[in-house]
Amino acid sequence: MKLEDLIVTLEAVRNLGNLRKDIASNVADYKRRLANGDSVTNVQAVIDADAAEYQRRLAWHDEADVAEELAAGIAALGVEDYEDEKQALSDAVSALTSAPKGSREDIEALDIKSLATRKTLFKPKNG
Amino acid sequence: MASFGYNFRGTDTFVTDGANETYVLNEVYPTTRGGSTFGWDDPPERDDRNASLDRRLAGAHKHSSDLSKRTFRADLATSGAKVLHLSVGDADNDRNQQVVRILDTSTQVLLLDLSATSVPAGSSRDASNVTRTDANWPSQEVGASATFATTILYLELGSSSIDMNGNYSSLRHLNIVDDAGGGPTTVKRLTMLGVG
């Protein structure tokens, strides 16, 4: 494994770890914005913008130069559940994107509790 | 006109941010909040100062620089012409030597070299390189225009090439506004700063 492969892999780990945390904490932030008097329209716009940023962050993993180095790093480290983690976050973003957000009740009902629990991303083959 | 602002402070609930703004605490890049992805490479020291000030001036992030810097990254929604708004200073302390540099990925688009300029407590330097009191900054601050070829903005707090002799560079607010053109009156072209 080359050093650059490891650097990209570590960046990918940080990206996914932060993304999981961001999705969960931002759901709380939307509710706080409503409580602070922000309009449903404004909060909905923030949710949509966040979801677009989440998708862009996930897409970074698939950029040609990144994907090649990432694949080498993951293979060398023996990471078993990288794709599962990425897919879980992608599914969560899709759920957020498609969830109804047109009313205060809709936004207050947003609940992605599973994302609030951080799991270990790396599971070495013999770990 | 699209815009996004970052309010640098110590705690999220110290003041309430406005629309198209978010607070910045000790987040490392990449962090997404408020529709923006941003973060520090290595978060500097953080302060809440005065909640009765304009929310954009209520806190600060500071870095004691002797040929070192901390870098904040913001991912822009689009490339193109922007107007940058800044508050560089501190509510409670004189800042005697500061430097803030903004880059379009690797190309410098703005430099506030205050290595020989004191900014008094209760005031800050705006993006047009003018010191404004905290009372005047909200209504009088002037932006600086810059054109981004990429969608990555880096802000360097402190400098690895200009010695600040251990003094703090202090960042309170950054706002990036899409420039619709037409020369708004609150914009100073960078050529007036000797930059770009």
Average of per-residue pLDDT across A66-73: 94
Residue B142 CB contacts under 8 Å (≥ 6 apart), including other chains: B126, B127, B128, B130, B186, B187, B188
Which pLDDT does position B189 carry in this prediction? 47
Q: Dump pLDDT digits (tens) for B144-173.
A: 999 999 999 999 999 999 888 899 999 999
Which among A58, A43, A53 is positioned nearest to A108, based on CA atoms?
Answer: A43
**Complete DSSP assignment for B151-192:** SEEEEEEEESSS--TTPEEEEEEEEEEE--SS--TTEE-GGG
Nearest residue on chain B to A28, alpha-carbon basis: B33
Percentage of the residues of chain A whose pLDDT score is greater than 70 = 87
Global pTM?
0.88
pLDDT above 90 covers a percentage of chain A that reads: 52
Residue of A nearest to B38 (CA): A53
Residues of chain B contacting A26 with CB distance shorter than 8 Å: 32-33
CB contact under 8 A, B32 and A57: yes
Interface with B, mutate which of A18, A25, A47, A93 (most B CBs under 10 A):
A18
Contact B30 A42 (CB under 8 A): no
Partner B contacted by A26 (CB < 8 A): yes
Task: Summarize the confidence of residues A37-41 as an average pLDDT.
Answer: 93
Residue B194 CA to residue B196 CA, distance in Å, equals 7
Question: Mean pLDDT throughout A13-39?
Answer: 90
Dihedral (C-alpha) A79, A84, A85, A89: value to the nearest 10 degrees?
160
Q: pLDDT tens digits for B89-144? A: 999 999 999 999 999 999 999 999 999 999 999 999 999 999 999 999 999 999 99
Give yes or no for residue A118 having a pLDDT over 60: no
Chain A nearest-CA distance from B194, in A, is: 35
Average pLDDT score over chain B: 92
Query: What pLDDT, on the 0 to 100 scale, is given for residue A92?
Result: 87
Q: Is A76 on the interface with B (CB under 8 A)?
A: no
The chain-wide mean pLDDT, for chain A, equals: 86
A112 Cβ under 8 Å from any chain B Cβ:
no
- Mean pLDDT, residues A94-102: 89
Write the residue in A38, A45, A54 that is nearest to B32 by C-beta.
A54
B30 contacts A26? CB cut-off 8 A: no
Q: Is A49's Cβ below 8 Å from some Cβ in B?
A: yes
Q: Give residues with Cβ within 8 angstroms of A55, minimum separation 6.
A: A93, A97
CA distance A116 to chain B (A): 15
**Cβ–Cβ of A19/B28 closer than 8 Å?**
no
The ipTM assigned to this model is: 0.84
